[in-house]
Amino acid sequence: MQKFLLAVDEMRKLSSGFELADLFPSLSFLGGLTGLTSRLERAHSCWDAILNEIIEEHLIKSGEGKDMDELIVDVLLRLREDKELDMHLTMDNIKAVISDLFVAGTETTSTFMDWAMTELIRHPHVMRKAQSEVRRYSNGGTGAQEWEINKLPYLSCIMKETFRLHPAAPLLVPRVGRETVDLFGYAVPAGSRVLINVGAIMRDPKYWDDPESFRPERFEGSAVDFKGANFEYTPFGAGRRICPGMAFAISNIEQWLAPLLCYFDWGLPDGRRAEELDVEESFGGAVSRKHDLIVVATPYMPAM
């Protein structure tokens, strides 16, 4: 596990770091001089070895014919042997899927939780309203169950507003223009790398009232959702290149955030006031808090 976590952290740092050759391809030779190229190769080799271990473990279990529940890796390996599929799955395809499941969304999801709890603590009235909703849903905080976000409309609004103010990736994954276009008088040549600043769009006063404020109520009765159908709200991107982990991330978040609000009351240590909580950002693979969020959790005791 330690080896896995170190590999994920190294890949996160490398993927979010600045590389001059991305802007000036003719300077790609600098990677060899700075050691970046060898660092990338070591990270790739380490991660590939981890994936090989995972796949080998499942191949051995499958070969032994043990009666066990089929996991996603087993399904992929079985499909790889299916000759009737139109597209043949390669081992590299399987490794890519495993990488997505393990890595994609882990940092962004944990970053979201940090920001959601930050904003809830900074806005106690929102926290109380959300806790009231989830505790009603769970019979006063006494039951444990799967949380269904469609039955928790205010929690859904909180999730949407958190993604609006604190998108994990304010600049979407780069696109490449397929043809030359004229944009507000600027000629953007075909082949240009294009980055869309959804962070700025989702704080644009042209589309949002009081855009710098955390107001989940703005989404009440609104048809705006995560699916990228609204230009002003695309935290996961849009179209064919929308984030493939969107549904996975949202499902995870609702299953984590709802019980945290249901079964605990939250505050700051050492008598600090909510308005003293900082919101400084640190940019990496995701835009996270610059400083760790330290809070005090008190188990909620429902009135008998």
Please report, in range form, the residues annotated as the binding site: 243
Measured CA to CA, the distance from residue 155 to residue 254 in angstroms comes to 8
Q: How far is CA 248 from the centre of its chain?
A: 9
Long-range contacts of 105-110 (CB under 8 A, 24+ apart): 105/245, 105/248, 105/249, 105/252, 106/8, 107/12, 107/168, 107/284, 107/285, 107/286, 107/288, 108/168, 108/169, 108/249, 108/285, 108/286, 109/249, 109/252, 109/253
DSSP β-bridge partners for residue 185: none
Element (H, E) at 162: helix 153-165
Query: Contact 63/27 with Cβ under 8 angstroms?
Result: no
User: Could you tell me where the beta strands, DSSP code E, fall in the chain?
Assistant: 175-176, 181-183, 186-188, 193-194, 264-267, 281-283, 287-289, 296-299
CA distances from 144 to 99, 138, 141, 153, 260 (A): 31, 7, 8, 19, 12
DSSP reduced 3-state for 28: coil
As given in the structure block, the two tokens for residue 297 are 């959790």
Helices and strands in the chain: count of H runs, count of E runs: 11, 8
Measured CA to CA, the distance from residue 207 to residue 204 in angstroms comes to 6
User: Which residues line the annotated binding site for heme?
Assistant: 243
